Amino acid sequence: MPLMTRTLLVTGASSGIGRAVARRLLGQGHRVVGSSRDDRSFKNPHPQFHAVRLDLGNLDGIADVAKQVQAEYPDLDGVVFAAGYGQFGGLEQFSPLQIERLVNVNFTAQAILTRALLPKLKQKPHANLVYIGSEAALKGSRNGSIYCASKFALRGFTQALREECGRSSVRVSLINPGMVDTAFFETLNFAPVSGSGQALAAADVADAVTYILAAGAHAVIDEINLSPASKVVEFKKSN
């Protein structure tokens, strides 16, 4: 059990990295408010887990959900931004609506949710904002123009926000994982080669989150770049 139990919002908590983070935090005795586009996807109740419906593709509804969460859980003192998705291809393969949605979910929604939660988080004696970025925020790659742009934007946002919050109790951190073995790749035409060391596990990212949360109030872990031992990609055969 941790010395201090906390109440944390985890976005994208129904699958992948968000699910692994939520489970790890619950295992440490924290209370978790987990969000998903469909809160019916949470099928295994836990006494310290509370589901909330939040569609990051609907920018207009984000502030209302944030207000609701802080009203119901006034001791909320941390957020792990794990929601997001990938879409890859040459720029000319994207429609304007596809560009807008990818950037909205991976960046704009994160900024809006942060804006809505930040005033009350600054009133806490200690608070954390932990964003799950990507290695795509470190270097542009072929067929990743829009995805990389969304992650570059998130990285720049966290760097600037960290400076803005420097005199407050809020600590801003970013984790940039390489390929993680999750359902992220189910809709893509590539995936990490199967085998040990070819991809991170979602639990590896959860470890990094708990490391950040365990840091003392006097310290800020700015950014963690997390990579698998090997980076080999295979392309799926089209039917």
Domain ranges of the chain: 7-235
Phi and psi at residue 129, to the nearest 5°? -120, 115
pLDDT at 239 over 50: no
Burial class (CB in 10 A: 0-12, 13-18, 19+), 28: middle
Percent above pLDDT 90 for the chain: 72
pLDDT at 167 over 80: yes
In this structure, how many other beta carbons lie within 10 angstroms of the beta carbon of residue 61?
14
| Segment among 83-87, 172-176, 183-187 with least mean pLDDT | 183-187
pTM of the model: 0.90
148-163 average pLDDT score: 98
**Token pair recorded at residue 58:** 């609907």
88, HSE (Cβ side, Cα atoms, 13 Å): 18
Of 108 and 218, the one with more pLDDT: 108
pLDDT tier for residue 91 given thresholds of 50, 70 and 90: very high
50-65 average pLDDT score: 96
Share the mean pLDDT of the chain: 89
Class of the domain covering 7-235: alpha beta
pLDDT at 185 over 60: no
29-58 average pLDDT score: 88
pLDDT tier for residue 179 given thresholds of 50, 70 and 90: confident
pLDDT at 80 over 90: yes
pLDDT at 137: 95
pLDDT at 99: 97
Nearest to 18 by CA among 9, 10, 27: 10
Percent above pLDDT 70 for the chain: 86
Question: Which amino acid is it at 139?
Answer: K
Q: Rounded CA gap, 180 and 51, in Å?
A: 24
pLDDT at 73 over 80: yes
Residues contacting residue 228 through CB under 8 Å, at least 6 positions apart: 178, 179, 192, 197, 198, 199, 200
pLDDT at 125 over 90: yes
pLDDT at 190: 54
